[in-house]
A and B are shown apart, each in its own frame.
Chain A
């Protein structure tokens, strides 16, 4: 990853709002699918349940406050650390918080119409992307310091290495056959110089399909 290749449209600052616009457009339209067909919201059950509570007539306050606060925090954090958290900012903020605010205020059109949903999401995403690039301009980009990018990259790489052993341990705690499968898979992958996470999952799945994990 040398400096020489991090150039051009795909790496540029101004391409970022476009990428956020695409993603936010899709996520907002996903909420449209959920609102109309009850399928397709891009979030975890617990968070979608807050929106559902509003749709069922229980008030949109919880979903709106939760979503808006995540969105706000992630927009401030994103430009500083160089990674915008999709889960907090777009999936929860744009996908749950903003729709809850709109529905709470009585605007149903952006959620009932598919084209309008796409446009609303794209516009909001573009604004968020632009705000983030603006904050960057006045912080990271205005300085010669790299602000410890190397430290963070190193930590990110180091943390990743833990996943394989964690999967094996988790599999062992799930059931004996699944644990044996994960252990054997990890060992085989290690022998062939492959990351053991992949082997552990495949091993756990194969044995888990033959000997299902008992449910209480």
Chain B
């Protein structure tokens, strides 16, 4: 009975998630003119498979084994389901019949439909089969694919984006460098900061300091201040400078539910 409920609910969840992920992933290829949804790593990995169905399928398969191990162990599907398995398998399904990425991988309608179908299968499979997985396959996923993907996210992607920012002109280079470094400190990865640097640098190149670039600049500062605060960067900074953490700051963090360790 419980298994049946899990299967039925998983079908609904898989369809909803797959639909959103598919549409969002296809829209990433039209960013920033169209608002996409996914992640820079998803985007880079989809590009790495270069529209080849076997590559998309095998990349997704590797992470399916990884998710499987995690769901059996802890009931957690891992973020890979939305970031890697569903988008890559949806792409593989579509590309199998039509190699033209503009009509398949880059098309939100096609990807949403394929994503929903893949989502139903993947989520139901993962949630209902908490039993035997070939352990040797699991090991390949965790010992080969996970480190490789982590290296791609850090340091390869930061370096590639950083160089692109520097090659795009003095302004994007400076903004990319400053915001990239800050972003790696505060958010744990330089890519978002470098991308914001490119945005501001190119915005200034094209239109100077006007209302739009100014409001973007303020939004970026807010982004850094708030994520810094909520991730406890302020406290970590004071600690590493051997400065006593003031009581009001500890209390401020407490009002938002985070505990400052002495």
Central interface residue in A42, A61, A148, A164, by most chain B CB within 10 Å:
A148
CB distance from B165 to the nearest CB of A (A): 7
Cβ of B9 under 8 Å from chain A: yes
Asked whether, in the complex, the Cβ of A91 is within 8 Å of the Cβ of B156, the reply is: no
Q: B212 → chain A, closest Cβ, in Å?
A: 5
- A25–B136 Cα gap in the complex (Å)? 35
Q: Which residues of chain B come closer than 8 Å to A23, judged between CB atoms?
A: 16-17, 19-21, 24, 37, 82
A positions within 8 Å CB-CB of B: 1, 3, 5-6, 10-11, 13, 15-16, 19-27, 29-30, 32-34, 37-45, 47-49, 60-62, 64-65, 68-69, 72-73, 76-87, 90-91, 104, 114, 118, 125, 132-133, 135-136, 138-140, 142-149, 151-164, 166-167, 169-171, 173-175, 178, 182, 189, 194-195, 197-199, 201-202, 204-205, 208-209, 212-213, 215
Q: Indicate whether A212 sits within 8 Å of B139 (C-beta atoms), given known contacts A86-B83, A158-B160, A163-B44.
A: yes
Q: A19-B27, A48-B76, A161-B47 are in contact. List 6 more A-B contacts (CB 8 A).
A: A48-B75, A69-B226, A86-B37, A142-B212, A147-B32, A194-B52
Q: Are A139 and B215 in contact (CB under 8 A)?
A: yes
Contact A45 B73 (CB under 8 A): yes
CB pair B12–A118 under 8 Å, yes or no, is yes
A205 & B127 in contact (Cβ 8 Å cutoff): no
B48-62 CB contacts (< 8 Å) to partner A: 48-50, 52, 54-59, 61-62
The number of A-B residue pairs with CB atoms under 8 Å apart is 400
Chain A residue with Cβ nearest B73: A45
Can you list 18 contacts pairing A with B, beta carbon distance less than 8 Å?
A: A6-B30, A11-B27, A20-B24, A26-B13, A26-B17, A33-B9, A37-B5, A76-B219, A77-B192, A87-B82, A133-B35, A146-B33, A156-B44, A159-B160, A162-B152, A170-B148, A195-B55, A197-B48
Number of interface residues of B (CB under 8 A): 127
Q: Please report the C-alpha to C-alpha distance between residue A145 and residue B230 in the assembled complex, in whole angstroms.
A: 32
- Are B39's CB and A205's CB within 8 A? no
Q: Which residues of A contact B201 (CB under 8 A)?
A: 148
Would you list which residues of chain B between 66 and 124 have a CB under 8 Å from chain A? 70-71, 73-79, 81-83, 102, 106-109, 112, 119, 123
With a cutoff of 8 Å between Cβ atoms, the chain B residues found around residue A133 in the complex are 35
Measured between alpha carbons, how far is A173 from B105 in the docked complex, in Å?
Answer: 33
Closest-CB distance, B228 to chain A (whole angstroms): 9
Q: Are B230 and A69 in contact, CB atoms less than 8 angstroms apart?
A: yes
